[in-house]
Amino acid sequence: MAEIDNKNLFTKINVGSGTDLMTMTRWVLAQQQASAEATGDLTILLTAIQFGCKYVASKVKQAGLINLLGLTGEANVQGEDVKKLDVLANDIFRNSLIASGKVSLLVSEEDEHAMVVENPEQRGKYIVTFDPLDGSSNIDCGVSIGTIFGIFRVQDGEEVGMKDLIRSGRNMVAAGYCMYGSYCEMILSVGSGVNGFTLDPAIGEFIMTHPNITLPPRGKIYSVNEGNMKYFDEPSKNYVNAVKNKYSARYVGSMVADVHRTLLYGGIFGYPADSKSKRGKLRILYEVFPMAYLIEQAGGKATTGTQSALDLVPEHIHDRSGVWLGSKEDVEELESFYKQA
Ligand code: AHM
Ligand code: MG
């Protein structure tokens, strides 16, 4: 009988040999392992968000077949009609986030009040602001919609409260969105660039498909609801008149889809404050801040016209602001119209 050579019983192996897929969970874990202070809490929280997105992605696909299209007959606190899918998405994210044990406070577009986790023992160190299903007007016609989220940390050693919410977007530690479109993609930043992960429905995992997304310094697309032009202030009106002769117009009417295209192709997206919506339409905590964070992390800029969007401080949880965001030079050109004014 041949003697066993103990030395050759082991093959040294490292990750990355053979077929390899970078799942979102694995990527987040790698960030956690690389950081001396990380505790794993953010990894768990992001797993809860992934679950919510997978659930909503699946229901959005089936909506027409299982009676999920249309209105609930209710209006939310902001006076907008609530769709059935809005309610379902909100419930799923709320429950998944609370069950993670990693949040203390939640702010949702669909809920009038901020929600504080009642049992102090089940509270975690994060705050999540989210729009469970953005682009409601597009739900029933099958156009891309999405979930947007921003993540803040509770301020150290203090009881959680309003002061944790009424602060600038510079306090965010992570942000992202999930787009339910012709493919389902999660875009995420934890403060070190922006990465995109596409949902493979066959295995139920988000797989990295768009590493290190970087905006070109200038694009060729402008994206704004021109039907509102007559209400715009002079700088925004003059800017749109200046770009419309040289750029292509693209406007989906779902912020997630318009921002996604802007991140991938460059250009500029805006929903300015106007004489009809004096504070703009988009909500600061769960629409403007997360998107401004992603755009800055990808090398672009986000502004109200006169100040950086991330420097805003909301006065209340559903406060709104006008915003322009996208390629750096395009946004600076828009800002130059405000400076001249
Ligand atoms: P919603 O949160 O009620 O869906 O509203 C926000 C949406 C954004 O996705 C989009 O950018 C904007 O409203 C479109 O508004 P409009 O239809 O006025 O152009
Ligand atoms: Mg919204």
Encode the chain (341 residues) as per-residue pLDDT tens digits.
Answer: 666 666 677 777 888 777 889 999 999 999 888 887 888 999 999 999 999 999 999 999 887 787 777 777 777 777 777 778 888 999 999 999 999 999 999 999 999 999 999 998 999 999 999 999 999 889 889 999 999 999 999 987 678 889 999 999 999 999 999 999 999 999 999 999 999 999 999 999 999 999 999 999 999 999 999 999 999 999 999 999 999 999 999 999 999 999 999 999 999 999 999 999 899 999 999 999 999 999 999 999 999 999 999 999 999 999 999 999 999 999 999 999 999 98
- Sign, Cα dihedral of 170, 160, 189, 129: negative
* Distance from C-alpha of 309 to C-alpha of 305, rounded to nearest angstrom: 9
State if residue 80 touches ligand 1 by the CB under 6 angstroms criterion.
yes
Atom of ligand 1 nearest to the CA of 131: 2
Tell me the CATH number for domain 24-210. 3.30.540.10
How far apart are the C-alpha atoms of 273 and 40, rounded to whole Å? 40
Q: How far is the CA of 270 from the centre of ligand 1 (A)?
A: 11
What residue's CA is closest to ligand 1, atom 6?
135
Residue 3 is predicted with a pLDDT of: 67
* Annotated domain spans of the chain: 24-210, 221-340
Cβ 286 under 6 angstroms from ligand 1? no
State how far the Cα of 240 lies from the Cα of 79, in Å rounded to an integer: 29
> Cα of 70 to ligand 2 centre, how many Å?
17
Distance from the alpha carbon of residue 146 to the mean position of ligand 2, in angstroms:
9
Domains 24-210 and 221-340 share a fold: no
What number does the ligand 1 atom closest to the CA of 109 have?
A: 2
| Cα 240 to averaged position of ligand 1 atoms, centre (Å) | 19
pLDDT of 65: 82
Three-state SS annotation for the chain = CCCCCHHHCCCCCCCCCCCCCCEHHHHHHHHHHHCCCCCCHHHHHHHHHHHHHHHHHHHHHHCCCCCCCCEEEEECCCCCEEEHHHHHHHHHHHHHHHHCCCEEEEEECCCCCCEECCCHHHCCCEEEEEEEEECHHHHHHCCCEEEEEEEEECCCCCCCCHHHCCCCHHHEEEEEEEEECCCEEEEEECCCCCEEEEEECCCCEEEEEECCCCCCCCCCEEECCHHHHHHECHHHHHHHHHHCCCCEECCCCCHHHHHHHHHHHCCEEEECCECCCCCCCCEHHHHHHHHHHHHHHCCCEEECCCCEHHHCCCCCCCCECCEEEECHHHHHHHHHHHHHC
Residue 137 Cβ inside 6 Å of ligand 1? The answer reads yes
104 CA → ligand 1 middle, Å = 28
Contact present, 144 and 166 (Cβ < 8 Å) = no
Which residues have CB atoms below 5 A from the ion given as ligand 2? 131, 134
**Matching CATH number, 221-340, of 3.40.190.80, 3.50.50.60, 3.40.50.150, 3.40.309.10:** 3.40.190.80
